[in-house]
Chains A and B, each alone.
Chain A
Amino acid sequence: MTDSHDSDRLIRVGKWLTGIGLVAMAGLYYLALVVTPAERWQGEAQKILYIHAPAALTALAAFGIVGIVSLGYLFLKDPRLDAFAEASAEVGLAFGAVMLTTGPMWGRPVWGSWWQWEPRLTLTLLLVLLFIGYRALRTAIDDPEERARYSAVIGIMALVLVPFVHLSVYLFRTIHPQPVILKPSRPTLPWEMLRTFLFAMAVFAIQYAGFVALRYGIGRRRAEAS
């Protein structure tokens, strides 16, 4: 039905992008740990920002893409859109896991607590949990067409939930102010740090593209096989 070279090419592209991303990631570690100066108040701990923030933003973008692609699926009923949503959701979970493990490592020395019920943290945690449910739902349905429709419904609902969670947790926070050492109005980042951060964003974007191309290619190949 579908051209099997398609999935082969996707997987090849995915491998290349992932490889380039990994090399760039090594460069990022060097840039962040050796070249970029340490922040005055937070010390070396601050450098985890170059991994944590891009991972979080990539995870959020990945989940957002699931929602948009899911909407497309319900209109077009193209199985490729479903396979893409599945790929983006899984890669989003991987980046979410990075975000959730690096966050507490940084929070403990800088905030003095592993976790803060802060809107962005809470939202990312909740989306990770919701998308674990999304994945669980996918594995619990055998019929591919039904699986695609149901997953699309969840993907869209998750996207709509985002502003409500953000707003309500924001209200929760303003009622119970937390002892945050880090000021929300951070002074503008010095150029050396901004440069490293922007480089990190690019590295994570390449990594995302590579992982998704790989996972999407595998999904396509699986669909061709069955």
Chain B
Amino acid sequence: MSVIRAGLAIAAKDVRVELASKTALATAITFAALVLVIFNFARDPAEVKLEVLAPSVLWVTSAFAGVVALNRSFTMERERGAIEGLLLAPVSRSAIYLGKYLANLAFVLVVNAVLLPLFIVFFNVAPSSALGWIALLLGLAAAGYVAIGTVLAAMTVRTRFADLMMPVLLLSFLIPPVLVGVLATTRLLGGRPISEIAGLVQILVLYDVVFVTLGFLLFPATMDE
């Protein structure tokens, strides 16, 4: 119980720090918007229809924004030596992981919450119940890769070339959720019944369960001082 409370306290601290400046959030959202714009022009409009490309663009943009967002999750702690204070606090490593994970997840979900409406506007997606499912899929995918990214960020922040190391390591882990997400989104936007994506949702849930568990098990190994 105390792990959960301590974790929530750490997450709340991160969220407050984020809301105080909002710079990182605004930058990550701008980044996502720019990727959408670039993708729109990275095609021959006469040859490739926007609708064909739309699912891939949404997921690649979401993945890239996730990498950018996660990259900064431990820099703040590192820069001001705050991590020492956090490690000295009478809370378990699991609580620190939980807090960091929740804060990162909140950050990524907010970015995605802005990305989805932008995507709908830029790619002329007809409003339908499918969008609710797509939002759920984006959230499910984030729940998994944020768990991995939180562990990776805790390590890469302490290495040389941290900004480069993070994407190189994390992108491999994004292949399953992006691939599954694109398949499901293509079917949803094509008006297929929900039953056709049930199996894909199951894979995402399994991915979440496995990597969140693994995150809790492995994170302490990144924090031994």
Contact = CB atoms under 8 A, between A and B. Distances in A.
Nearest to B172: A130
A137 B159 contact: yes
Contacts of A168: 175-176, 179-180, 203
A136 B168 contact: yes
B80 interface: no
Interface stretch (A21-29, A35-43, A47-55, A156-164): A156-164
A146 B160 CA distance: 13
Interface string B203-223: 100010011001000100110
A137 B180 CA distance: 28
Nearest to A171: B183
A136 B210 contact: no
A74 interface: yes
A121 interface: no
B106 to A, nearest CB: 23
B161 interface: yes
B165 A175 contact: no
Interface string B50-66: 00000000000000000
A152 B165 contact: no
B155 A74 contact: no
Contacts of A164: 176, 203, 207, 210
A133 B169 contact: yes
Nearest to B181: A168
Interface in A51-95: 74
B179 A169 contact: yes
A97 B97 CA distance: 36
B175 A165 contact: yes
A154 B160 CA distance: 17
Contacts of B185: none
A175 B88 CA distance: 52
Contact of B161 (A140, A146, A160, A167): A140
A223 interface: no
Contacts of A146: 158
B176 A154 contact: no
Contacts of B32: none
B183 A175 contact: yes
B6 interface: no
Interface in B148-187: 148, 151-152, 155-156, 158-161, 165, 168-169, 172-173, 175-176, 179-180, 183
Contact of A172 (B159, B161, B165, B179): B179
A149 interface: yes
A44 to B, nearest CB: 35
A126 interface: yes
Closest 6 CB pairs of A and B: A140-B159, A164-B176, A168-B176, A133-B168, A130-B172, A140-B160
Interface of B: 148, 151-152, 155-156, 158-161, 165, 168-169, 172-173, 175-176, 179-180, 183, 200, 203, 207, 210-211, 214, 218, 221-222, 224
Given A149-B224, A150-B159, 13 more contacts: A126-B172, A126-B175, A129-B172, A130-B172, A136-B165, A140-B159, A146-B158, A153-B155, A156-B214, A158-B172, A161-B172, A164-B207, A169-B179
26 contacts: A74-B221, A133-B169, A137-B155, A137-B159, A137-B169, A140-B159, A140-B165, A141-B159, A146-B158, A149-B221, A149-B222, A150-B222, A152-B221, A153-B221, A153-B222, A156-B214, A156-B218, A157-B148, A157-B151, A160-B210, A160-B214, A164-B176, A164-B207, A167-B176, A171-B179, A171-B200
